[in-house]
């Protein structure tokens, strides 16, 4: 049996200038990442505007997201949400560490069609 395995809470990268992103699985239309934040925030004026839907769960820590239009969302460990494609958002605060599990789904690439 050919398997790949790991532990989301082990081998955490040291603090750096950027969040650490580990690509755990990638298939047509789907990508799963572990993201480790250590007090990181989006640079001033930067917005995420992703072409895929993103399901994200904060596994450890706390974080605050800000959405274009003025809504802020505070997340604690265990909180998850779905951010639809092209919903502009920023990370305005994270704890050290904050560990995220993110699943990106591109409907066009997965053969399910657009919205």
pLDDT of residue 17: 87
10 Cβ neighbours under 8 A, 6+ residues apart:
none
pLDDT of residue 90: 97
pLDDT of residue 3: 87
Residue 82: closest CA among 50, 114, 108, 113? 50
What is the homologous superfamily of the domain 20-102 according to CATH?
Jelly Rolls (2.60.120.10)
Instruction: List, run by run, the mean pLDDT of 10-residue segments along the chain (115 residues).
Output: 89 90 96 97 96 98 97 98 97 97 85 44
**Domain ranges across the chain:** 20-102
pLDDT of residue 113: 44
pLDDT of residue 109: 65
């Amino acid at each position: 049996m050919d398997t790949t395995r790991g532990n989301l809470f082990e081998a955490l990268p040291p603090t750096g200038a950027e969040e650490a992103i580990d690509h755990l699985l990638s298939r047509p239309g789907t990508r799963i990442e572990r993201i480790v934040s250590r007090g990181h925030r989006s640079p001033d004026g930067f917005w995420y505007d992703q072409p895929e839907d993103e399901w994200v769960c904060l596994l450890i820590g706390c974080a605050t997201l800000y959405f274009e239009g003025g809504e802020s969302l505070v997340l604690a460990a265990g909180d998850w949400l779905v951010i639809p494609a092209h919903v502009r958002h920023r990370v305005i605060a994270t704890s050290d560490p904050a560990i995220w599990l993110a699943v990106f789904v591109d409907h066009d690439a997965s053969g399910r069609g657009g919205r």
